């Protein structure tokens, strides 16, 4: 993990390498966030804690947040983190250009949402936005899908078919997983980008279109160019503008807002998050990013039984690992001073301490014999954590 990565954690031996932010809720519960490394930002810690506190206090008061009040489409962009603020500023700067865009980012980060935002802000917004996944079809089907075909071009071609480039004429064409295209289709795509021209499958006449292409990939296309799996000239054309969508672990501050937005949309009414659920969401690694958070909140709504406040259930996050601490440091997730952790929280804290009861007792601010009693009552065996 990079030196400027953030972790929820314990107070380590080297305080000079850490920064801390703390918020105290009305009932005296303290929540502390430690950020390790020279690049740690106190402001980011404060923002994450403020977002979490907002969710928790709304849960107590019964008042939904602005995010919770909105039950609009879960597909809208949400985020107040520095990463999303920077992304939004970049999108504002490119709104008046028709240059080709390459969007990079991990699966589930919302690359298509960014593409839609670009289209909606552009001069082409009144025209079609067309999207396709280049890895979803085999080579022959994808060629027909993109460029269309003429009657008799192949066995099942009983009529002429218009391709997606023609459907998107005048508008925007979003091509996801563009890095998976074959060499032959890369050549045809390059011609469209260079000349706005292509020939349908089985056709004899060139068709012309005016389309803005926005491509996306979760692959490193420079590596694929080095392996001669992707054309360098095509990559150059595609990334006239390049946008990176940050993974959820880089925008921790947005998790509570996104969670309430997704849950409210799924429930069809404003909902709030119980303290334990809010902290569990902040603790997670989210390898599936925003898409996974949406799925988790859908499950939370189903398991809530119609309750307005969503509570934590171990099955919600059972298959997802917690975020890792920097190498050489064992970090605990959020620590509650003066509040007894739940069995699930206790097990997570102990695991991240490597089974060291002394260290965990010190962090929790309780005597060792008290912690041993908690472990016994929670049916937690120390040998399982060493």
What span, in angstroms and rounded, lies between the C-alpha atoms of 181 and 153? 21
**Domain at 127, CATH number:** 3.40.50.300
Are the beta carbons of 297 and 259 closer than 8 angstroms? yes
Lowest mean pLDDT among 19-23, 100-104, 105-109, 144-148: 19-23
| Residue that is written with structure tokens 């501050």 in the block | 253
Lowest mean pLDDT among 57-66, 130-139, 158-167: 57-66
What span, in angstroms and rounded, lies between the C-alpha atoms of 305 and 260? 17
**In which band, very low, low, confident or very high, does the pLDDT at 356 lie, cut at 50, 70 and 90?**
confident
Q: Are residues 35 and 139 in the same domain?
A: no
pLDDT for 319 beyond 80: no
- Does 362 map to a domain? no
Q: Are residues 114 and 197 in the same domain?
A: yes
Q: Are residues 41 and 169 in the same domain?
A: no
What span, in angstroms and rounded, lies between the C-alpha atoms of 286 and 296? 10
**In which band, very low, low, confident or very high, does the pLDDT at 16 lie, cut at 50, 70 and 90?**
very low
Q: Are residues 104 and 231 in the same domain?
A: yes
Quick one: average pLDDT of 204-222? 95
**Domain at 37, CATH number:** 1.10.8.60
Q: Are residues 68 and 90 in the same domain?
A: no
Render pLDDT for 262-287 as a digit per residue (tens, 0 to 9).
999 999 999 999 888 888 888 888 98
- Does 373 map to a domain? no
Quick one: average pLDDT of 344-359? 79
pLDDT for 70 beyond 70: no
Q: Are residues 93 and 189 in the same domain?
A: yes
**In which band, very low, low, confident or very high, does the pLDDT at 118 lie, cut at 50, 70 and 90?**
very high
pLDDT for 56 beyond 50: yes
**In which band, very low, low, confident or very high, does the pLDDT at 385 lie, cut at 50, 70 and 90?**
low
pLDDT for position 52: 58
Count up the domains in the chain and report the number. Answer: 2
Q: Are residues 101 and 25 in the same domain?
A: no
Q: Are residues 89 and 188 in the same domain?
A: yes
- Does 358 map to a domain? no
pLDDT for position 21: 41
Q: Are residues 286 and 300 in the same domain?
A: yes
Domain that includes residue 318, residue range? 15-75+249-339
- Does 357 map to a domain? no
Render pLDDT for 359-372 as a digit per residue (tens, 0 to 9).
888 777 778 888 88
pLDDT for 41 beyond 80: no
Quick one: average pLDDT of 184-194? 96
Q: Are residues 237 and 255 in the same domain?
A: no
- Does 62 map to a domain? yes
pLDDT for 377 beyond 60: yes
Q: Are residues 222 and 111 in the same domain?
A: yes
**In which band, very low, low, confident or very high, does the pLDDT at 104 lie, cut at 50, 70 and 90?**
very high
Q: Are residues 297 and 151 in the same domain?
A: no
């Amino acid at each position: 993990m990079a030196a400027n990565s953030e972790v929820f954690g314990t107070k380590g031996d080297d305080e000079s390498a850490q920064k801390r932010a703390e918020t105290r809720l009305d009932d005296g519960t303290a929540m502390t966030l430690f950020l390790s490394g020279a690049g740690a930002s106190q402001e980011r810690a404060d923002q994450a804690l403020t977002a979490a506190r907002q969710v928790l206090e709304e849960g107590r008061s019964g008042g939904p947040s602005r995010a919770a009040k909105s039950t609009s489409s879960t597909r809208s962009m949400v985020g107040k983190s520095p990463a999303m603020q920077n992304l939004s500023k970049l999108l504002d700067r490119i709104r008046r250009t028709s240059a080709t865009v390459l969007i990079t980012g991990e699966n589930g980060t919302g690359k298509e949402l960014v593409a839609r935002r670009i289209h909606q802000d552009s001069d082409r917004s009144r025209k079609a936005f067309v999207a396709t996944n280049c890895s979803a079809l085999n080579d022959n089907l994808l060629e027909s899908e993109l460029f269309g075909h003429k009657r008799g071009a192949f066995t099942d071609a009983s009529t002429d078919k218009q391709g997606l480039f023609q459907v998107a004429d005048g508008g925007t064409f979003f091509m996801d997983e563009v890095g998976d295209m074959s060499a032959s289709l890369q050549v045809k795509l390059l011609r469209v980008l260079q000349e706005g021209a292509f020939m349908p499958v089985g056709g004899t006449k060139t068709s012309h279109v005016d389309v803005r292409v926005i491509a996306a990939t979760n692959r490193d296309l420079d590596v694929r160019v080095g392996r001669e799996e992707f054309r360098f000239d095509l990559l150059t054309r595609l990334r006239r503008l390049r946008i990176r969508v940050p993974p959820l672990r880089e925008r921790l501050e947005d998790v509570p807002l996104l969670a309430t937005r997704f849950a409210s949309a799924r429930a069809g009414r404003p909902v709030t998050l119980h303290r334990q659920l809010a902290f569990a969401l902040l603790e997670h690694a989210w390898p599936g990013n925003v898409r996974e958070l949406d799925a988790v909140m859908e499950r939370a709504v189903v398991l809530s039984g119609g309750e307005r406040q969503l509570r934590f259930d171990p099955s919600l996050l059972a298959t997802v690992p917690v975020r890792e601490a920097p190498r050489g440091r064992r970090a605990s997730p959020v620590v509650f001073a003066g509040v007894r952790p739940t069995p699930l929280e206790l097990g997570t804290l102990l695991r991240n301490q490597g089974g060291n009861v002394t260290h965990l007792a010190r962090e929790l601010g309780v005597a060792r014999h008290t912690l041993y009693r908690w472990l016994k009552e929670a049916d937690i065996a120390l040998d399982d954590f060493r």
